[in-house]
Amino acid sequence: MLETVEQQTGAVPEWSVIWLHGLGADGHDFAPIVPELVRPHWPAIRFVFPHAPKRPVSINGGMPMRAWYDIVSMDFRSRADAAGVAESVAQVEELIAREQARGIPLTRILLAGFSQGGAITLATGLTRREPLAGLIALSTYLPEVDAAASQLVDGANTQPLFMAHGSADPVIPVQVAEHSMQVLKQLGFDLEWHRYPMAHQVCAEEIHALGQWLQQRFEG
Answering whether pTM is above 0.95, one says: yes
pLDDT tens readout for residues 75-91: 887 888 999 999 999 99
154 is catalytic: no
Name the catalytic one among 21, 88, 169, 180: 169
Name the catalytic one among 51, 179, 194, 200: 200
The SS3 assignment for 172 reads coil
Name the catalytic one among 16, 115, 139, 180: 115
115 is catalytic: yes
Question: In three state form, how does the secondary structure of 112-150 look?
Answer: EEECHHHHHHHHHHHCCCCCCCEEEEECCCCCCHHHHHH
pLDDT tens readout for residues 155-184: 999 999 999 999 999 999 999 999 999 999
200 is catalytic: yes
Task: For residue 14, give the H/E element and its range.
Answer: none
